[in-house]
Amino acid sequence: MFKLKIPLLTLLLMTLMFPVCAVAADKGGAAVESRSEKWKEDYPDQYNSWFKTRSNDKIDDMLAEYPQLAVLWAGYGFAKDYNAPRGHAYALQSNINTLRTGAPVDQKTGPMPTACWTCKSPDVPRMIQEDGEMEYFTGKWAKYGDEMANAIGCADCHNQETMELTLTRPFVARGLEAAGIKKKDITQNEMRSLVCAQCHSEYYFKKTEWTDDKGTKKTAAVVTFPWENGFTAEEMERLYDSYEFKDWTHKISKAPMLKAQHPGYEIAKTGVHYQRGVSCADCHMPATKDGYTDHHIVSPLENIKASCLQCHDETESQLKATIKAKKQRKEHMMVLAMDSLAKAHLEAGKAWELGATEAEMKEILGMIRSAQWRWDYSIASHGSFFHAPGETLRLLGDSLGKAQDARIALV
């Protein structure tokens, strides 16, 4: 679609001078065009609606709203700063602003690995194409600070030659393969959800040793989807347990904790909409009156007519009331689970203070880990109260039960 305006001879010379160009070309054709403005000329409607994702710039500080979170995440970055999501246009800025990513002073410092850019920018597929996936996942976050310039855009979801929906991150295809899903079996309708699943999914950073072209041994932190046992919270927990994987050691209870990312796709799979073939795009990117796909991805509450009313014949206010009731049920169970979890951490801290032994605590800390995983899994997948209300409430109930079991055992 982009006509390169470089004379053929110059191109030929460039290829001769920089053999890397040829490598990049072999990997994926033309260089990834990460600047969405460049796509505007050919697709003004999609571009103009995409541009509106900057309309939701509201920062909601979740730690101020739920102070229990500071206990639940004690010793982990999320206890420093955690805000509700806003529009795609802000993904990079939110990542740079959050206290979790620190303030690196050069390319080698900073608390976070390069992997933390992965769901923020179409410059990620561009760098993976330029440097190779392993190099991209090696080193500190600041290494690519000067490359990450564009907010989530066209090149995150589309092949620029054919405009087909495309999985632009190689680890997504690997995750699907691990789950036993073959590329040839993926329908176009499923792609309308999978482009979102590239980022709205659970993942962890897998330490991977590799050797670069010059023979230097390196360690990459590779974004990996934990889908090989299945897509549920329990199946992923089994996988993490089998690796004895932990994201951090809790500062108060010393429990080996898991931090859920945002398993939005996985939890939505258990809901009635997904199971009836309704895709993420059906609600979040409905067709406009003029026949093109609305690229202003936002809460469907702002656009019930175009989204829900394609299929439902209730009124807007009925649907709004239904969504509100679902949210209230989730909030109710979420707060009960959070309170019990926070108490369990504090009481475990007290037990250590009173001289409890490692052997006495081991099983109890496992219960706390498992309880918090279920709570986090269900609420970190934003929108789950609506996408899959039954599964969300089941996980919160399970979390509450396990946290209370831990508290009784502590007594």
By CB under 6 A, tell whether 409 contacts ligand HEC: no
Closest separation in Å from C-beta 407 to ligand HEC: 31
CB 51 within 8 A of CB 297: no
Instruction: Name which of 94 and 219 has its Cβ closer to ligand HEC.
Output: 94
Q: Exposed, middle or buried: residue 203 (CB in 10 Å: 0-12, 13-18, 19+)? A: buried
- Compare residues 46 and 372 and give the one whose CB is closer to ligand HEC: 46
**Closer by beta carbon to ligand HEC, 92 or else 406:** 92
Residue 192 binds ligand HEC, judged by CB under 6 A = yes
Among 150, 264, 347, 367, binds ligand HEC (CB under 6 A): 264
Determine the 3-state secondary structure of 84 from DSSP. coil
Choose the binding region for ligand HEC from 9-17, 133-141, 282-290, 366-374 (rule: CB under 6 A): 282-290
Residue 148 touching ligand HEC (CB under 6 A): no
- Using the rule CB under 6 A, give the single segment among 136-144, 171-179, 190-198, 221-229 that binds ligand HEC: 190-198
Window 36-55: contact mask with ligand HEC (x via CB under 6 A): x--x---x--xx--x-----
Return contacts of 270-279, CB within 8 angstroms, 24+ apart. 270/232, 270/388, 270/390, 270/391, 271/387, 271/388, 271/389, 271/390, 271/391, 273/387, 274/193, 274/387, 274/388, 277/189, 278/311, 279/189, 279/190, 279/192, 279/193
d(CA 225, CA 176): 8
**Span from 61-69, 84-92, 137-145, 334-342 in contact with ligand HEC (CB under 6 A):** 84-92
Supply the minimum distance, in Å, between the C-beta of residue 373 and ligand HEC: 20
Question: Measured at the alpha carbon of residue 65, what is the angle toward residues 368 and 264, in degrees to the nearest 5?
Answer: 60
- Judged by phi (left if over 0) then psi (alpha if -120 to 50, else beta), residue 217 lies in beta
CB of 386 closer than 8 Å to CB of 358? no
Which of these, 307, 297, 227, lies nearest to 263 by C-alpha position? 227
Exactly one of 15, 109, 187, 310 binds ligand HEC (CB under 6 A); which one?
Answer: 310
- 368 vs 116: CA distance, rounded Å: 27
**DSSP letters along 189-203, please?**
HHHHHHHHHTTSS--
Residue nearest to ligand HEC (CB): 383
Contact pick of 72, 176, 252, 283 for ligand HEC (by CB under 6 A): 283
| Among positions 32, 72, 91, 367, the unique one binding ligand HEC when judged by CB under 6 A | 91
Which residue number, 330 or 369, has a Cβ lying nearer to ligand HEC?
A: 330
Q: Residue 26, class by beta-carbon neighbours within 10 Å (0-12 exposed, 13-18 middle, 19+ buried)?
A: exposed
CB of residue 309 to ligand HEC, shortest distance in Å: 8
Q: Is 296 in the site for ligand HEC (CB under 6 A)?
A: no
CA distances from 371 to 80, 274, 409 (A): 22, 26, 14
Closest by CA to 63, choosing from 75, 46, 43, 80, is 80
| Binding residue for ligand HEC, selected from 79, 165, 346, 356, defined by CB under 6 A | 165
Interacting residue with ligand HEC among 300, 337, 395, 404 (CB under 6 A)? 300
Closest to ligand HEC by CB, 192 vs 345, is 192
- The answer to whether residues 241 and 338 touch, using CB atoms and an 8 Å cutoff, is no
With vertex at residue 232, the alpha carbon angle to CA 75 and CA 74, rounded to the nearest 5 degrees, is 10
Would you count residue 157 as binding ligand HEC (CB under 6 A)? yes
Q: Which one of the spans 86-94, 212-220, 222-230, 343-351 is the region binding ligand HEC (CB under 6 A)?
A: 86-94
Span 220-259, contacts to ligand HEC by CB under 6 A: none
Whether 219 and 209 have beta carbons less than 8 Å apart is answered as: yes
Q: Say whether residue 34 binds ligand HEC (CB under 6 A).
A: no
Q: How far is the CB of 93 from ligand HEC (least distance, A)?
A: 7
Handedness of CA 265, 266, 267, 272 (dihedral sign): positive
Q: Which residues bind ligand HEC (CB under 6 A)?
A: 36, 39, 43, 46-47, 50, 56, 84-88, 90-91, 94, 119-120, 152-154, 156-158, 163, 165, 188, 192-193, 195-196, 198-200, 264-265, 268, 272-273, 276, 278, 280-285, 292-293, 295, 297-301, 307-308, 310-312, 319, 322-323, 382-383, 386-387, 389
